[in-house]
Amino acid sequence: MDVATANTIKAFDRHRLVDTAAQSVRIKSYSGDEVEIAQWTADRMSELGLDVSLVEVAPRRYNAIGVWRGRGGGSSLMYNGHMDTNPVGEGWSRSPLGGEIDEEFVYGIGICNMKAGNASFLEAVAMLKNAGFRPKGDVVLAFVHGELQGGVGTVRMIESGVRADYFIVGEPTELTLLTQHSASFVFEITILGKTRHLSKREDGVDAIAGMEKLLPQLRSLTFSGAATDSDRLLNRINIGVIRAGVSRQLLDWRPQQLADVCVVKCAGRFGPSQTLDQAMRDIQDVLDRLSAEDPAFVAELKLVEENRIFMPPFKVEHDALPVVALGDVHKEISGSPAKIGMHTPAKFFGSDAAHLAKAGMTGVLYGPGGRFNTMPDERVAISEMEIASKVYAAAVINVTETPCP
pLDDT in tens, 214-231: 999 999 999 999 999 999
Is residue 168, in this structure, part of any structural domain at all?
Answer: yes
Task: Please give the average per-residue pLDDT across 351-364, as a whole number.
Answer: 97
Whether the pLDDT of residue 21 is over 90: the answer is yes
Number of domains in the chain: 2
CA dihedral of 115, 116, 119, 124, whole degrees rounded to 10: -140
Q: Pick from 303, 327, 359: which residue ends a domain?
A: 303
Is residue 267, in this structure, part of any structural domain at all?
Answer: yes
Whether the pLDDT of residue 174 is over 90: the answer is yes
| Residue 165, domain CATH | 3.40.630.10
Residues 52 and 157 in one domain: yes
Q: Pick from 278, 303, 328: which residue ends a domain?
A: 303
23-27, 261-265, 401-405: which range is least confident on average? 401-405
Task: Please give the average per-residue pLDDT across 371-386, as a whole number.
Answer: 97
DSSP letter for 316, please.
-
81 sits in which H/E element = strand 77-82
Is residue 405, in this structure, part of any structural domain at all?
Answer: no
Is residue 390, in this structure, part of any structural domain at all?
Answer: yes
Residues 171 and 187 in one domain: no
Is residue 199, in this structure, part of any structural domain at all?
Answer: yes
Is residue 386, in this structure, part of any structural domain at all?
Answer: yes
Residues 298 and 326 in one domain: no
Task: Please give the average per-residue pLDDT across 189-212, as a whole number.
Answer: 98
Q: Pick from 303, 329, 352: which residue ends a domain?
A: 303
Residue 183 makes CB contacts below 8 A (sequence gap 6+) with 234, 268, 269, 270, 271, 272, 274, 276, 310, 311, 312, 313, 350, 354
Q: Which amino acid is at 300?
A: E
Residues 80 and 149 in one domain: yes
> How do residues 72-106 score in pLDDT, each as one tens digit?
999 999 999 999 999 999 999 999 999 999 999 99
The sign of the CA dihedral 144, 147, 153, 159 is positive
Query: Within 10 Å of residue 282's Cβ, how many Cβ atoms?
Result: 18
Range of the domain at 105: 3-181+313-400
Query: Within 10 Å of residue 300's Cβ, how many Cβ atoms?
Result: 12
Whether the pLDDT of residue 343 is over 90: the answer is no
The predicted structure's pLDDT at residue 1: 80
Can you tell me the distance from the alpha carbon of 375 to that of 371, in angstroms, rounded to the nearest whole number?
9
Residues 176 and 217 in one domain: no
Whether the pLDDT of residue 390 is over 90: the answer is yes
DSSP states of 149-198 as a string?
Answer: GTSHHHHHHHHTT---SEEEE----TT-EE-EE-EEEEEEEEEE-B--BG
Whether the pLDDT of residue 70 is over 90: the answer is yes
Mean residue pLDDT of the chain comes to 96
The predicted structure's pLDDT at residue 282: 98
Residues 281 and 323 in one domain: no
Q: Which amino acid is at 368?
A: P
Residues 213 and 67 in one domain: no
Residues 80 and 151 in one domain: yes
Residues 27 and 171 in one domain: yes
The predicted structure's pLDDT at residue 68: 98
| CA 194-195-201 angle, 5° bins | 100
Is residue 76, in this structure, part of any structural domain at all?
Answer: yes
Task: Please give the average per-residue pLDDT across 359-364, as a whole number.
Answer: 98
What is the pLDDT confidence band of residue 344, given thresholds at 50, 70 and 90? confident
The predicted structure's pLDDT at residue 388: 98
Residues 139 and 204 in one domain: no
| Residue 213, domain CATH | 3.30.70.360
Is residue 369, in this structure, part of any structural domain at all?
Answer: yes
Residues 387 and 361 in one domain: yes
Whether the pLDDT of residue 405 is over 90: the answer is no
Residues 34 and 169 in one domain: yes
